[in-house]
Chains A and B, each alone.
Chain A
C-alpha cells in the first residue's frame, strides 16, 4: 500500500524560555492511501497539533513530513496552498463557512479559485455532493439559516469538491448531537469506502471505534496503536469496549 503521509520524528514546541512545552515529542507516523485513521488521547496530548503538522497547515520544529513523497517543509507557501486546495480536504469542529455567502457559494469557493470557467460543472458536482450528504435544497440558504449538522455537512461537501486524496477532520462531530454525529460518521465512512483516506482527531471512543486504525496519544507521543477490521455496521459495542479497555491500560 502506498504511503500518502509519512512523518518522521517530528517535534513541535510551544512557548519559550521556562514555559517551553513539547507538544509533539518525536512522533513518527504514516498513513496509507485509502486508510481510515483516528487519533485519540486526552486534551493537550497533541492530537490536533499532529493533524495540523502532517497536513502542512502548521510547521514542525524538527523532523520531516512527507506528503505523497514530497517533503512539506521544502515547499513554498504557495505550493502548500496548492496542495491543500487540490489534494487535501479539511473539516473542523466548528464549521468554518464564510458569512454573507449562501451554502452553495461556500462549497464551491475553493474550486472557483482555479476553475472559474467551469462554474457550471463545479456547481453540478456541488449539488450532487449536497444531495449525497443530505442537504439538498439548501443551496441558497444563508449559513445562519441552517442547523449545525447541516453546516458541518456543507463543510464536508466543500472539502470533497476537489476530490482530495485525504480528508482531515479535527473533531468534526465534536459540536454535534449524537444523531447528527452518527450521520457525519457514516458519510465519512462512505467517502473512505470510495477511496479517500480519512484522518480524524476525536476523543469519542464511539467515533474512533468506527475507524480502521486508532493512534493513541499522550504527552506528545504516540503511545499505542490499534488495528481494527473495516467497520461494517456491526459489533460496534465490542469495538468500543476494546478501545476503552486499551485507553484504561494506557491510563488515558
Chain B
C-alpha cells in the first residue's frame, strides 16, 4: 500500500514531478556554482593582491610634488612599512594606437608607467613580476579580453613605436570599474613618452598593520601633504576587484533563490494535492494506529529521492559549467590553488539545498496532524476550518454569475492551496514593477539632479590643467556675450580643511559659485545663498555627522570660517563626497571648474558643444544628455535590460506555475468535475469557474504586488541608489505602464496559461469518476 501511494503519486503528476526535479537540479547547480565561484574569487583576489603587493594607501596627485617632505613623513610615521611615489603619464587616447587602431573611443584614462621598485607590481599572466625590455609594451588584461590588443601587435604611443609583448594584471586598476588603466614600458621608453602627456603621481604606502589604516589616513590629512586627486585604500581595491565577478555571483545566488522558491512551490502544490487526495488513506492509516511520523516518512521518502537525485545532478552540472564561469576570474586574477576546498564548499551548498527541500517537505507534511481519522474515513475529506467561504452562500448570491461565484468561493474555501499561486503572482507583479519603475526613474531627465548635476543643457569641465580659474573666467566672458546662451553658472572646486569637533582635520572639496541657477535635488534644506552657508552631500554629511543648522569650521589660508549647514543633497560624482558654498575664495587654487549653461534653443546643443570644444581646447565640453549617457548610460541600459529580462522571466514563471497549478487542480478535482458534469454543467461552465478562481487570485496578487513594489520596492531601490550617494529617492512612475500595461500583460499571460491548463477538463468523463 505504501509503495503504491508513492508510485501512484508520481504517476499522477509526472509533469510536476519532473518539473520539481528540474528546479531542484537547477537550484543545486546554481548554489554549488556560486559557492565554487565565491571561494575562487576571494582566493584569486587574495593571491593577486599578495603577489602584486597592492598599496594599503594610495593618494593620487597631479601638480607639484614635495618628495623630501613626503619622505620625511614616511620615515617618521611609525605605521609605515614601505613608501614610494610612482609616476604615471596620462596620454590622450587618440595618441595611443594599437594594431593600427587608436583608442580615441575608449572611455578609460590610459597612462604609462614603469615597473615599480618596492611594491604595487604589475604582474604577467603567470603571476610573475614583469620586467619589460626596451621597445616592449605590456597591455592591461582588459584590452586582451575585449580584443583591443593581441600579443605581437605594433603600437604607436605619441609617435613612439612599441611592440605588444604581453598582458599585465594590475591589482589596482584591473577592473573595468576603475576609470584608469596602466600600460607598462621600460624606463627608457617611459622617458621618451613622458613629454607627450601629463604626469600624475601615485603616492603609495604599505603599512605594518592594515588595521591602522584609519589612523594613518588621519595622520596623512593632518600633515597637510599632497592631495590633488582621489585617495584610495586597500579595502576599496579589494572591492573593485571583487565587484564585477561578485555581482555575477550575487545574481547567480539571487536566481538560485528564485529557483529554490519555485521548486518549493511545485512541491507544495503536489503535496497539498496529494494530501487532499490521500486524505482517506491517511485517515485509515491513522485509524489503524500508525504514527504521524511513520506516515510522513512515506511521503518524505519520495521527495528525499527527488531532492537527492536533483542535488547529485546539479552538483555534476556545476562541475561541468564551473570552467566557463571561472575563465574570467582566472584571466583577470589568476588561478587559485585551493581546488579541493572549492569542491567541498560546492558540495556543502548542494547539501544545503537538499536539507532545505527535505525540511520544507517535512514542514508541509505537518498538516497530517490536522487530519482527523474519523472525518477523513467517513467523508474522504477534511473540512477547511477557515470560515471565510461559509459566509458566501449561493442562495444569498445576487451579484455574481453562478460559475464565477463557484470559482471565487473555491478560492476562499481552499485558501492554503491558492496561497502558493497568490505568492507567485505577488512576486511576479513585484519583480515586474520594481525594475520598470527604477528604469523609468533613472532614465527620466530630472534624475540627474539626484546625481549632483544641475539640470542644464551644456556642461564644460576644466580640469587637469593649470590656471583653471583664469580659463574658467575666459569661458564665462565669452558666454556672457553669446546671445544663444540664456544663463550660465561657473562653479569652481577648491580643497579646504574642515575641523572636526575632536580637533582632527578632514579634507573637504567645496564647489564654490552660484548654486541657485542650476540647482540639484536637496534631500533636506536648500542651496547655499549667503556667504556663511554650506550644503553637504549626503555622504559627507554622514561622515562629518552634520545636519542642516549645524555649524562647520573651515580653515582657509590663515583664517577660519564659520559656516552653517543649509542643506544636504544627493551626489554620485567624485565618490559622492562633495560640498557646495557661495562664498568667494581668496585663493586661486582651483582644482577643477565646471561651467553649466542653458541654451535659448535646445536643438543647438550638439553644434554649440562642438563650437565650444573647438574654441576652448582645454575644456571637456558635453551636452548634459551626453554627459548623463556617458556617466550613467551603461547603468541605465543595464537596468533597462534587467527590467526586460525580469518581465520575460516573471511571465514565463507565471505561465509555468499557472499551467502546473491548474493541471494539478484539474487532476485533483476530477471527481468534482464529473459531479458538475453529471449535474449538467458544460465544459465552458467549468472553464469559467477555473478562470474565476485564477482571476480572483490575480486581482489580489497584482494589487498587493504593485502596492508592495511602490512601498517596499521603492525603499529597496532607494537603499541601492543611496549606496551610490543619492538620497531622498522617489520613484517616477509611468502610471500607464505600471498600473495598466504591466498588470494587463501579467493577467493576460496567466489567463492564457489557464486556458492551456484547463484543456484537460473536456477529457474527464462522468462515468469514469462517479460510477460505483
Interface positions of A (Cβ within 8 A of B): 48-49, 52, 57-58, 77-78, 81-86, 88, 90, 92-94, 96, 98-102, 104-105, 108-110, 112-113, 116, 119, 123, 142-144, 158, 170-171, 174
Q: How far is the CA of A99 from the CA of B669 in the complex (A)?
A: 12
Q: Would you give 7 A-B contacts (Cβ < 8 Å), ordered by A?
A: A52-B766, A78-B682, A81-B681, A94-B772, A102-B390, A110-B679, A144-B383
- Cβ of B148 < 8 Å from any Cβ of A? no
Question: Count the B residues whose beta carbon is within 8 Å of the partner chain — how many?
Answer: 38
Which residues of B lie under 8 Å from residue A78 when comparing CB positions?
682-684
Q: Enumerate B665-691 residues with CB–CB distance to A below 8 Å.
A: 672, 675, 677-685
Choose among A48, A88, A116 the residue with the greatest number of B CB atoms under 10 Å from its CB.
Answer: A116
The residue in chain A whose Cβ has the minimal distance to the Cβ of B406 is A109
Question: Would you give the shortest CB distance from B394 to chain A, in whole angstroms?
Answer: 4
Name the one of B379, B389, B678 contacting A57, with C-beta atoms under 8 angstroms: B678
Extra contacts besides A49-B771, A104-B395, A113-B680 (11): CB < 8 Å: A57-B677, A81-B677, A86-B680, A90-B679, A100-B383, A104-B393, A105-B394, A112-B394, A112-B402, A119-B397, A144-B375
Contact (Cβ within 8 A) B679 A52: no
Which residues of B lie under 8 Å from residue A101 when comparing CB positions?
394, 409
The residue in chain A whose Cβ has the minimal distance to the Cβ of B678 is A90
The residue in chain B whose Cβ has the minimal distance to the Cβ of A123 is B395
Question: Would you give the shortest CB distance from B376 to chain A, in whole angstroms?
Answer: 11
Name the one of B379, B682, B771 contacting A170, with C-beta atoms under 8 angstroms: B771
Q: How far is the CA of A209 from the CA of B462 in the complex (A)?
A: 111
Question: Would you give the shortest CB distance from B570 to chain A, in whole angstroms?
Answer: 54
Q: Enumerate B359-418 residues with CB–CB distance to A below 8 Å.
A: 375, 378-379, 381, 383-384, 389-390, 393-395, 397-398, 401-403, 409-410, 413-414
Which residues of A lie under 8 Å from residue B410 when comparing CB positions?
100
Name the one of A84, A100, A119 contacting B384, with C-beta atoms under 8 angstroms: A100
- Cβ of B767 < 8 Å from any Cβ of A? yes
Q: Is the interface of B mostly helix, strand, loop or mixed?
A: helix
Name the one of B379, B383, B680, B767 contacting A85, with C-beta atoms under 8 angstroms: B680
Contact (Cβ within 8 A) A48 B772: yes
The residue in chain B whose Cβ has the minimal distance to the Cβ of A48 is B771
Contact (Cβ within 8 A) A109 B683: no
Which residues of A lie under 8 Å from residue B402 when comparing CB positions?
109, 112-113, 116
Instruction: Pick the 7 closest A-B CB pairs, nearest first.
Output: A85-B680, A84-B680, A100-B413, A58-B767, A105-B394, A81-B682, A96-B675
The residue in chain B whose Cβ has the minimal distance to the Cβ of A158 is B679
The residue in chain B whose Cβ has the minimal distance to the Cβ of A101 is B394
Q: How far is the CA of A104 from the CA of B381 in the complex (A)?
A: 20
Which residues of B lie under 8 Å from residue A108 when comparing CB positions?
394-395
Which residues of B lie under 8 Å from residue A94 when comparing CB positions?
772
Question: Would you give the shortest CB distance from A108 to chain B, in whole angstroms?
Answer: 6
Given contacts A99-B383, A100-B413, A101-B394, contact A110 B681 (CB under 8 A): yes
Given contacts A82-B680, A144-B379, contact A58 B766 (CB under 8 A): yes
Q: How far is the CA of A98 from the CA of B672 in the complex (A)?
A: 7
Contact (Cβ within 8 A) B394 A110: no
Q: Enumerate B736-762 residues with CB–CB distance to A below 8 Å.
A: 762
Contact (Cβ within 8 A) B681 A113: yes
Question: Would you give the shortest CB distance from B441 to chain A, in whole angstroms?
Answer: 45
Q: How far is the CA of A48 from the CA of B769 in the complex (A)?
A: 13
- Cβ of B765 < 8 Å from any Cβ of A? yes
Question: Would you give the shortest CB distance from A221 to chain B, in whole angstroms?
Answer: 19
Q: Is the interface of A mostly helix, strand, loop or mixed?
A: helix
Contact (Cβ within 8 A) A52 B767: yes
Contact (Cβ within 8 A) A109 B679: yes
Q: How far is the CA of A48 from the CA of B394 in the complex (A)?
A: 32
Question: Would you give the shortest CB distance from B309 to chain A, in whole angstroms?
Answer: 34
Q: How far is the CA of A81 from the CA of B682 in the complex (A)?
A: 6
Contact (Cβ within 8 A) B679 A84: yes
The residue in chain A whose Cβ has the minimal distance to the Cβ of B680 is A85
Which residues of A lie under 8 Å from residue B379 when comparing CB positions?
99, 143-144
Given contacts A119-B398, A144-B375, contact A81 B680 (CB under 8 A): yes
The residue in chain A whose Cβ has the minimal distance to the Cβ of B682 is A81
- Cβ of B770 < 8 Å from any Cβ of A? yes
Contact (Cβ within 8 A) A85 B409: no
Which residues of A lie under 8 Å from residue B771 when comparing CB positions?
48-49, 52, 170
Given contacts A78-B682, A81-B682, contact A102 B393 (CB under 8 A): yes
Question: Would you give the shortest CB distance from A194 to chain B, in whole angstroms?
Answer: 21
The residue in chain B whose Cβ has the minimal distance to the Cβ of A115 is B402
Choose among B375, B381, B770 the residue with the greatest number of A CB atoms under 10 Å from its CB.
Answer: B770
Which residues of A lie under 8 Å from residue B398 when comparing CB positions?
119
Question: Would you give the shortest CB distance from B685 to chain A, in whole angstroms?
Answer: 7
The residue in chain B whose Cβ has the minimal distance to the Cβ of A90 is B678
Contact (Cβ within 8 A) A77 B682: yes
Choose among A49, A85, A96 the residue with the greatest number of B CB atoms under 10 Å from its CB.
Answer: A96
Contact (Cβ within 8 A) A174 B772: yes
Given contacts A110-B679, A113-B403, contact A171 B384 (CB under 8 A): no
Question: Would you give the shortest CB distance from B677 to chain A, in whole angstroms?
Answer: 7
The residue in chain B whose Cβ has the minimal distance to the Cβ of A58 is B767
Contact (Cβ within 8 A) B395 A85: no
Contact (Cβ within 8 A) B394 A96: no
Q: How far is the CA of A143 from the CA of B397 in the complex (A)?
A: 20
Question: Would you give the shortest CB distance from B692 to chain A, in whole angstroms?
Answer: 14
Which residues of A lie under 8 Å from residue B401 when comparing CB positions?
116
Contact (Cβ within 8 A) A100 B389: yes
The residue in chain B whose Cβ has the minimal distance to the Cβ of A116 is B402
Q: How far is the CA of A186 from the CA of B403 in the complex (A)?
A: 34
Q: How far is the CA of A86 from the CA of B765 in the complex (A)?
A: 19
Q: How far is the CA of A142 from the CA of B375 in the complex (A)?
A: 13
Contact (Cβ within 8 A) A85 B679: yes
Choose among A81, A84, A110, A123 the residue with the greatest number of B CB atoms under 10 Å from its CB.
Answer: A81
Contact (Cβ within 8 A) B767 A96: no
Q: How far is the CA of A142 from the CA of B681 in the complex (A)?
A: 22
Given contacts A93-B772, A94-B772, A105-B395, contact A57 B675 (CB under 8 A): no
The residue in chain A whose Cβ has the minimal distance to the Cβ of B379 is A144
The residue in chain A whose Cβ has the minimal distance to the Cβ of B394 is A105
Q: How far is the CA of A104 from the CA of B680 in the complex (A)?
A: 18
Question: Would you give the shortest CB distance from A223 to chain B, in whole angstroms?
Answer: 22
Contact (Cβ within 8 A) A96 B684: no
Q: How far is the CA of A83 from the CA of B762 in the complex (A)?
A: 17
Question: Would you give the shortest CB distance from B374 to chain A, in whole angstroms?
Answer: 10
Q: How far is the CA of A102 from the CA of B409 in the complex (A)?
A: 12
Choose among B378, B398, B679, B682 the residue with the greatest number of A CB atoms under 10 Å from its CB.
Answer: B679
Q: How far is the CA of A113 from the CA of B676 in the complex (A)?
A: 11
Contact (Cβ within 8 A) B394 A109: yes
Q: How far is the CA of A105 from the CA of B409 in the complex (A)?
A: 12
Name the one of B393, B678, B685 contacting A113, with C-beta atoms under 8 angstroms: B685
Contact (Cβ within 8 A) A85 B681: yes
Q: How far is the CA of A134 from the CA of B543 in the complex (A)?
A: 83
Which residues of B lie under 8 Å from residue A174 when comparing CB positions?
772
Contact (Cβ within 8 A) B681 A105: no
Q: How far is the CA of A110 from the CA of B679 in the complex (A)?
A: 6
Contact (Cβ within 8 A) A119 B395: yes
